[in-house]
Amino acid sequence: MEYNCVEYKERITDTLEKEIVAFLNYIGGGIVYLGVDKHGSVVGIEKADMIQLQIKDRIRNNMKLSQ
């Protein structure tokens, strides 16, 4: 079950950065679980290492920190 600070995603979505920013702005942060369906069941992710690198690159390239 999803809560205010927990988000389940079966795969990477186009709105991933937006969801991450929302958690960064939320007191206490949050967690995005990839490879988990909306009911909390693990469905897994193929090529997890590649997905991890994609996420890191998307965050670095698409999110700007204001100082």
Per-residue pLDDT tens over the stretch 9-31: 999 988 888 888 888 888 888 99
Between the two ends of the chain, the Cα-to-Cα distance in Å is 35
> Residue 18: which region, alpha, beta or left (left: phi > 0; alpha: psi -120 to 50)?
alpha
Whether the per-residue pLDDT at 2 is higher than 70: the answer is no
Average pLDDT, the chain: 86
How far apart CA 23 and CA 5 sit, in angstroms, is 7
Q: What is the pLDDT of residue 45?
A: 92
Q: What is the pLDDT of residue 24?
A: 85
What pTM was estimated for this model as a whole? 0.74
How far apart CA 60 and CA 43 sit, in angstroms, is 27
